[in-house]
C-alpha cells in the first residue's frame, strides 16, 4: 500500500511517526512539498518517505490520500485537484463535512478521522466516522479506535479535542504556583506532569468505574480534595467549561 499526505504539518508528522513505530505494512509514503522544511526533515529521517513534486502527483501515486490541511487551504486547493472516484480518502479536516468533500472531490470513498498529536507515540483516542473496516484496521495500530456511526455525533469529539492547550495551561499554572512557593522549576514541572499522568492512567485502568464514581472516590468529606472541588464549583469553573464547549461546538 502507498500512502499520501496532502499537507505536511504537525499532525502529518505525528501520524507518520506512529506509522514507523507500528507494524503496519506499506511500500511508500508521499508527502506534499508545501511545508518544505518539515517535508525535508521527514524524508531524511524515514527512508520510505518521499516528497512529491506537486499535490496531483501525490494523489495519483497513492492508494490512500490523507487530507491533513486546514479548512482554508482545503477550500482553495481541493477544487483544483482530481481524485479517482474510488480513491480512498481519509480526512483530518475538522470543519469539513463529508458531503462537502464528496461534492468537491467527486469521490464517495471518504472517511473522517480525528487524530491527536499523541498518535506519534501510538497513544490516545482515534475517532473514525462513519464506521470503516479498513480505516479501523489501519488506525488500531496507532491508538485506541472509537468508531462513530453518525458524522453529526463526531462533532462532540472534535470539540473536546480543542481542550489540549487548556489542559497544558492547567498544569502550567499548577507548576507556576509550586514555583511561587519556593519549589525549583524542574522539580515542579516534573511533579505536576507525573501527577496528571498518573491520574489519567488510573482512570483508564479502572475500566469498570465510571468517571462520576471516580470523582466521589477521590475525596473524603471535609478533606482537601473535597474542598478544592467545592470551591471550583462555587466559582462556576465547570459551568464556564461547559459554556466554552458549547461555543466551540457551534464551529463544527
> What pLDDT score does 69 carry?
94
Alpha carbon distances (Å) from 70 to 27, 152, 189, 244: 27, 20, 32, 22
**pLDDT interval class at 86 (50, 70, 90):** confident
2-149 belongs to which CATH class?
A: alpha beta
Q: Residue 94 pLDDT > 90, yes or no?
A: no
Question: pTM of the prediction?
Answer: 0.86
**pLDDT interval class at 55 (50, 70, 90):** very high
146 membership: H or E segment, kind and range: strand 144-147
Convert the pLDDT of each residue in 10-30 to its tens digit: 999 999 999 999 999 999 999
Angle, vertex CA 62, rays to CA 56 and CA 66, nearest 5: 85
What are the φ and ψ backbone dihedral angles of 10, each rounded to 5 degrees? Answer: -65, -45
Say how far apart CA 98 and CA 104 lie, in whole Å: 10
Residue 106 region, left (φ>0) first, then alpha (ψ -120 to 50), else beta? Answer: left
Q: How far apart are the first and last CA of the chain?
A: 32
Cell digits of residue 203: 482512570
> What pLDDT score does 147 carry?
94
On whether the 162-249 domain is CATH 3.10.150.10, my answer is: no
> What pLDDT score does 201 carry?
94
> What pLDDT score does 154 carry?
86
| 245-250: long-range contacts, CB 8 A cutoff, minimum separation 24 | 245/159, 245/160, 248/159, 248/162, 249/155, 249/156, 249/159
Convert the pLDDT of each residue in 185-244 to its tens digit: 999 999 999 999 999 999 999 989 999 999 999 999 999 999 999 999 999 999 999 999
In this structure, what DSSP letter does residue 9 have? S
Query: Residue 197: how many CB atoms within 10 A of its CB?
Result: 11
Say how far apart CA 243 and CA 252 lie, in whole Å: 15
Domain limits of the chain? 2-149, 162-249
Q: What is the mean pLDDT of the chain?
A: 94
- pLDDT, mean of residues 135-146: 96
65 membership: H or E segment, kind and range: strand 64-67
**pLDDT interval class at 34 (50, 70, 90):** confident
> What pLDDT score does 152 carry?
85
Amino acid at each position: 500500500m502507498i500512502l499520501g499526505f496532502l499537507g505536511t504539518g504537525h499532525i502529518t508528522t505525528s501520524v507518520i511517526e506512529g506509522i514507523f513505530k507500528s507494524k503496519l505494512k506499506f511500500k511508500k509514503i508521499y508527502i506534499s512539498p508545501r511545508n518544505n522544511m518539515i517535508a525535508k526533515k521527514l524524508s531524511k529521517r524515514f527512508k520510505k518517505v518521499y516528497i512529491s513534486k506537486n499535490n496531483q502527483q501525490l494523489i495519483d501515486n497513492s492508494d490512500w490520500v490523507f487530507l491533513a490541511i486546514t479548512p482554508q487551504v482545503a477550500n482553495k486547493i481541493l477544487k483544483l485537484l482530481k481524485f479517482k472516484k474510488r480513491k480512498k480518502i481519509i480526512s483530518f479536516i475538522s470543519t469539513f463535512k463529508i458531503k462537502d468533500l464528496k461534492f468537491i472531490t467527486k469521490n464517495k470513498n471518504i472517511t473522517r478521522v480525528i487524530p491527536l498529536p499523541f498518535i506519534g507515540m501510538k497513544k490516545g483516542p482515534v475517532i473514525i466516522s462513519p464506521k470503516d473496516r479498513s480505516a479501523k484496521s489501519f488506525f488500531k495500530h496507532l491508538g485506541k479506535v472509537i468508531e462513530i456511526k453518525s458524522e453529526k455525533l463526531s462533532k462532540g469529539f472534535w470539540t473536546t479535542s480543542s481542550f489540549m492547550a487548556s489542559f497544558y495551561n492547567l498544569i502550567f499554572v499548577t507548576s507556576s504556583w509550586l514555583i511561587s512557593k519556593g519549589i525549583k522549576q524542574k522539580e515542579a514541572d516534573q511533579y505536576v506532569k507525573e501527577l496528571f499522568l498518573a491520574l489519567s492512567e488510573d482512570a483508564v485502568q479502572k475500566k469498570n468505574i465510571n468517571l462520576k464514581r471516580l470523582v466521589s472516590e477521590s475525596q473524603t468529606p471535609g478533606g482537601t480534595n473535597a474542598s478544592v472541588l467545592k470551591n471550583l464549583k462555587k466559582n462556576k469553573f465547570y459551568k464556564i467549561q461547559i459554556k466554552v464547549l458549547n461555543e466551540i461546538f457551534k464551529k463544527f
